[in-house]
Structure 1
Amino acid sequence: MSETFLDALVVGAGFGGIYQLKKLKDQGLYVIAIDVASDVGGTWHWNRYPGAMSDTESYLYRYSWDQEDLKTYPWTKHYLYQPDILAYLRHVTEKHNLRQHMHFNTELISAVWDDSSSRWIVETSTGVTYKARYLITALGLLSRQNLPHFRGIDDYTGELYHTGSWPDNVNLKGKRVGVIGNGSTGVQVITAIAKDVKQLVCFQRNPQFSVPSGQGPATPEYRKSINNDYNKIWKDCKDSMFGFGFEEASRPTSSVSEEERIAIYEKAWNRGGGFRFMFETFGDITTDVDANNCATDFIKKKITATVNDPEKLQKLMPTQLYARRPLCDAGYYDQFNLPHVSIVSLKDTPIAHFTPTGITTSDGTPHDLDVVIFATGFDAVDGSYTRIRIQGRNGQTLKDHWSNSSGPTSYLGLTIPGFPNMFMILGPNGPFSNIPPAIEIQVDFISNMIADAEKTNGAGTGKGKTVIEATPQAEQDWTEMCDEMSKGSLFAKTDSWIFGANVEGKKRSVLFYFGGLKAYGDRLKDVVGHGYQGFTGL
């Protein structure tokens, strides 16, 4: 057992943790980052499954603060695959000499606030105890796996994998494979492996709308055009609603003729990108049911034109609103024209139990499988926190704090009353947007607030020294506003991870701020402009 005293401890070494470590180090603080993984990457360290790819344009799925890297670091396609993203984050870590401040294979076991010393006492799996004045968690939106339990699963003798912890050197070629789940991950996995496996059985709960990704090479000419305009691109990104590199449409669906509408959909379909189709075509697809139906009618016709088998088509045809995280693919529906690819509707015939050789559905049909892949997603946003003992003032744990409210709550998606000097990157009710720019906005705010508090109160610990805490009223007001804002979106009318509805037994609640990236950034500026409104200790 050993103790290490720190100014700040960062938990996580993905996009958020890397940038937070750099910022605080540059401010002169003694800071260390820990991660349970063996290397940097966060989400992109664990999610190594076939076809794993970001659906954000390559030139915006990176940091904006390194101008040299923006223009010179290689990216050859419109969208980055998992190995590309992991290589990029490793590059940033090495270039900025951050690895020496990182401790890997180190799991956060518990974090307890000590009022007497104004420090967080953090126990880890390595036996090292960190005593830090500031605790910043960058646990990731999607890091705690959602792994449903099925009767008989322990009896299964084949290979079992969850896409969120994919091991190296998995060989699926020539095998009988079952994939449970057809969200973003499931769509990517199914598309990537279909041609290589002997048999593919896709177990789906809800049919999904998916549009082409538009994946393709980034030509030198294209890269040059981006490089010449990077400053404007990033300004526009952070001034936009979702930060995906395009101007979101404001026009209503009903403002154009049917012929014009179809032409707009067709252009978006051909260009590719899930977020582009949902938000660049018309401004009311996610707020107006009639507008949503117009968009889904178009996509349904595309699905019908692609899938040849009537039975498969019927199972693949979505019946709910187009109001989940928008998916895109590289030929998902085409895979179901392959004779060895089948689909099981879990609405009609749920999984009854596992057997030693596979899965049996409720109608008694056995599916013999060599491999079962769980593409069942994550206990998103708060799931990574509730599994850890985080204890604030007066012995209250974070899990208890959230269980006593309508769900996971925060002030600004960053901090929680009763948990002083603790800040969350991408915490509950943070912005629903492209991840890297959202992270940058939050990390900059956290870092600047710490710097301002240090100037005001003086560095150190003890009574009267740098204790930053959100007020209960600020948390309540922010939570109520996020909840009210979500009611205007059709996202609230579907069961998805965006509201925690994908995890059995989990309380459905709002998990995001739907006001947009620019409005969120403006709110943070307003908080600062009013003397860190909603916080004490500054």
Structure 2
Amino acid sequence: MNVAQQGSKTSLVNDFDAVIIGAGFAGMYMLHSLREAGFSTKAFEAAEDVGGVWYFNRYPGARCDIESIVYTYLFSEKLYQDWTWTSRYPDQPEILSYLNYVADKLNLRKDIQFKTRIHAAHYDEANENWRIYLNDGTSVTAKYFIPAVGGLSATNVPNFKGLNHFKGEWYHTGNWPKDEVDFNGKRVGVIGTGSSGVQVIPIVAKEAEHLTVFQRTPQYMLPARNHQLDPEFIRQTKADYKEIKQQVRNSATGDLRKSMNCSVFDVTKEERLQALEEAWEKGGFIPGFTDVFTDEKANETVAEFLRSKISDIVHDPETAEKLMPTYYYGTKRQVLNTDYLETFNRDNVTLIDVKKAPIEEITTTGVRTTQKEYELDILVFATGFDAITGPLFKMDIRGRNGISLKEKWKNGGQISTYLGLATSNFPNLFLITGPESPAGFTNNVAVIESNVEWIIECVKYLREHDLNTIEAEKEAEAGWSKSVADLANKTLFVKTESWWTGANIPGKPRGLPLYLGGFKKYLEICKEVEDKEYEGFSLFANKREKVHPSK
């Protein structure tokens, strides 16, 4: 029995022009934009306050790997000028403080209902609106339904045998408690060495009596070289606000990252090594050669350089060998680190390769692999998320004829959107950083701002032209999905198992539903669709009267 059949209490007083799910970067900006345009709007958020993923991901060492001066709202110069970031890469407490500052400045909380989860959202064809079902048994209706849930909010706890019987404490990095976890004098195990694991492991190692790291796949490590921002840099950044905003919009990745604008083989080996060494010393992501993600030999030149750094840093040759990646560089989410490799030189840290000795069971006292049992007091799962589609599939979203989004997309095996913003047979549903958008390969805040601004112009257009619904056309959707797949298939990304491709979730269909054509190009395409009065969409004045935009 689905939610719509449960006879939930409904109050017509709670009808809105738009309902938003989530109060992180996306939900907050969407709420502000809709209110400013005169739309009655309500946002629902599972947490006790604003922040989205940055509310829940409060594990020790949690930090963004996009530079703070662009991992921030750029839509408002006043917000930009009145806030001062303190470090190159902001940590979780500072990001959460920033989002609270924005919520206060824009008075957003009055239109957000916290501690509320959405079970379902069903499109009502007769009334041409969405009915959204809440976890308290009530429901509300809205003309527009906008899930701003992000791609990394559905935590993934592997289904290990015996976890429920573990007598110690266990935590997931994506749902960390508010109260501090005390690792002092404890035997701690961390499962997972992706971005979260790489951040939490060095912190835990300094406190724990002993740390055991269970690694499935090693990572290519790039040093963050994080540092406090000096006053002159801050002053200059604020003075350059307009230029920075333009640079972000004109970039491939939505930030200030530099590109080499040449092939790996357009420079000599000495010049290439010098560029890589300079990037290593500066910290952050390595400036991309044009062919490093499309040509295996070009990719190997960077991979070889980064593997040599592991040998240089890690003292024990056997441990260093375990830490050596063999897949194509950059085809898993690139990881910035602070003292991660150095951590394995500590006497109280042990690295276990679970590909060679898989975890068989969580016992009452620890973890048992095929080779040995490890006694633990605390277990930390740094096992990431059911990414991209997971947060959407957690809700029972149904469009025309009662078909669910999960059914339409074949459980993720046949994702189809138009611009990553909409999907056919789901009228007036807008996605922010949805599947087939550039999110995941781009500064997410930049994608969020562009998506929100496109959506707000769209709903204003509908209002100005007395139109009730907008819906992606199947042909346009198929064309977009094909272009996304074609771009992905020209790269090395599809040849590696990663959360981008769904490989971290057992049984999840494989694919790369992210746009790889670059942020600037994506903005140009979205603007062209808007300028052509929403070409590729069907617009309806009512259920029977279809309006064809002028070409």
Q: TM-score interval w.r.t. the shorter chain?
A: over 0.9
TM superposition shift of 1:246: 2.6
Report the Cα distance in structure 2 between the residues aligned to 1:338 and 1:303, rounded to whole angstroms.
15
Aligned pairs for 1:250-399 (under 5 A) are 250-273=261-284, 276-277=285-286, 280-322=287-329, 323-363=331-371, 365-399=372-406
What is aligned with 1:509? 511
Partner of 2:421: 414
Change in 2 beyond 3 A, CA 1:355/1:406? closer
Equivalent residue letter for 1:378: F
1:156 aligns with 2:163: no
For residue 542 of structure 2, what is the aligned residue in structure 1?
none
- 1:288 maps to a residue whose letter is D
Quick one: which of 441, 444, 447 aligns to 1:435? 444
**Distance in 2 of aligned mates of 1:244 and 1:186:** 24
Give the whole-Å Cα distance in 2 for the aligned partners of 1:30 and 1:69: 23
Deviations 1:250-276 (A, max 9, x none): 211111111111110011111111xx3
State the match for 1:206 in structure 2.
217
Q: Which one is further off, 169-178 or 36-45? A: 169-178
**Is 1:243 matched up with 2:254?**
yes
TM normalised by structure 2 equals: 0.94
Shift of 1:75: 1.1
Structure 1 Cα separation of the partners of residues 366 and 35 of structure 2: 51
Secondary structure at the counterpart of residue 497 of structure 1: coil
- Which one of 1, 20, 45 corresponds to residue 55 of structure 2? 45
**Equivalence for 1:87:** 97
CA distance in 2, matches of 1:421, 1:56: 32
**What corresponds to 1:524 in structure 2?**
526
Provide the rounded CA distance (Å) in 2 between the counterparts of 1:319 and 1:245: 29
- For 1:115, the aligned partner's letter is E
SS in 1 for 2:93: helix
- 1:479 corresponds to 2:481: yes
C-alpha contact (below 8 Å) 1:410/1:429 kept by paired residues: yes
The code of the aligned residue for 1:383 comes to: G
Task: Give the structure 2 partner of residue 494 of structure 1.
Answer: 496
**1:467 Cα offset (Å):** 0.6
Residue of structure 2 in register with 1:173 after alignment:
184
CA deviations 1:439-485 (Å, max 9, x no partner) are: 0000000110000011111xxxxxxx411100111111111110010
> Residue in 2 aligned with 1:452?
461
Residue 210 of structure 1 and its aligned partner are, at CA, apart by: 1.0
2:327 partner amino acid: Q
Corresponding letter in the other structure for 2:113: H
Give, in angstroms, the shift of residue 146 of structure 1. Answer: 1.2
**How far apart are residue 109 of structure 1 and its match?**
0.9
What letter is aligned with 1:482?
V
8 Å CA contact 1:237–1:246 kept in 2: the answer is no
Task: Give the deviation of 1:405 after TM superposition.
Answer: 7.5
Post-superposition Cα deviations, 1:316-338, rounded to whole Å, max 9, x if no partner, equal 11111112111111110000000
Q: 1:467 aligns with which of 451, 466, 469?
A: 469
State the secondary structure of the residue aligned to 2:97.
helix
Q: Contact 1:12–1:138 at 8 Å: present in 2 too?
A: yes
Q: In the superposition, relative to structure 1, how do residues 422 and 281 fare at CA in structure 2: closer, same or farther (>3 Å)? A: closer
**Is 1:23 equivalent to 2:33 in the alignment?**
yes
Name the structure 1 match of 2:245: 234
**Offset of residue 404 of structure 1:** 7.5
Residues 39, 252 of structure 1: alpha-carbon distance in 2 compared, 3 angstrom cutoff: same
In the alignment, the residues of structure 2 paired with residue 351 and residue 168 of structure 1 have an alpha-carbon distance, to the nearest angstrom, of: 29
The question of whether the paired residues in 1 share the 8 Å contact of 2:145 and 2:429 is answered with: yes
DSSP-derived class of the 2:139 partner? strand
Q: Equivalent residue for 2:545?
A: none
The letter of the residue matching 1:393 is R
* Conserved 8 A contact 1:9-1:136: yes
Code of the aligned partner of 1:128: T
- Is 1:124–2:129 an aligned residue pair? no
Residue 242 of structure 1 aligns to a residue whose secondary structure is coil
Long gaps (5+) in structure 2: 1-8, 540-548
Given that 1:210 and 1:329 are in contact with CA atoms closer than 8 Å, whether structure 2 keeps it comes out as: yes
Kindly indicate whether the alpha-carbon contact (under 8 Å) linking 1:110 and 1:123 is maintained by their aligned counterparts in 2: yes
Match of 1:225 among 236, 241, 250: 236
Q: Which amino acid aligns with 1:68?
A: K
SS of the aligned residue for 1:56 comes to coil
For residues 358 and 414 of structure 2, what CA distance do their matches in structure 1 show? 29
- Please, which of 182, 185, 189 is the counterpart of residue 200 of structure 2? 189
Amino acid of the structure 1 residue aligned with 2:56: W
Q: Deviations over 1:351-402 (max 9, x none)?
A: 0111110001012x11000011110110101001112111110111111001
When residues 186 and 405 of structure 1 are mapped into structure 2, their CA distance, relative to the original with a 3 A threshold, is closer
Q: Shift in Å at residue 55 of structure 1?
A: 0.4
Q: CA deviation at 1:247?
A: 3.1
Aligned pair count reads: 526
Give the 3 Å change call, closer, same or farther, for CA 387–247 of structure 1 in structure 2.
same
Output the amino acid matched with 2:456: S
Cα contact 1:50–1:192 (8 A) shared by 2:
yes
Paired letter, 2:223: P
* 1:93 and 1:99 in contact (8 A); partners too: yes
Superposed CA deviations along residues 178-217 of structure 1, whole A, max 9, x for unmatched, are 1111011110011222111111111111111011002001
Contact 1:250/1:284 (<8 A) preserved: no
Contact in 1 for aligned 2:152/2:386 (Cα 8 Å): yes
Which deviations, in whole Å up to 9, do the C-alpha atoms of 1:49-90 show, x marking residues without a partner? 010000001100110012122123121110100000011011
2:172–2:380 Cα contact (<8 Å) kept: yes
Residues 515 and 116 of structure 1, relative CA distance in 2, 3 Å threshold: same
Using structure 1 for the length normalisation, give the TM-score: 0.96
Cα distance in 2 for partners of 1:281, 1:218 equals 25
2:74 to 61, 64, 68: 64
In structure 1, the residue matched to 2:24 is 14
Correspondence for 1:460: none
CA offsets 1:147-166 (integer angstroms, 9 cap, x no match):
11111112110111111100
**Contact (CA 8 Å) 2:494, 2:511: kept in 1 or not?**
no
Aligned AA for 1:211?
Answer: L
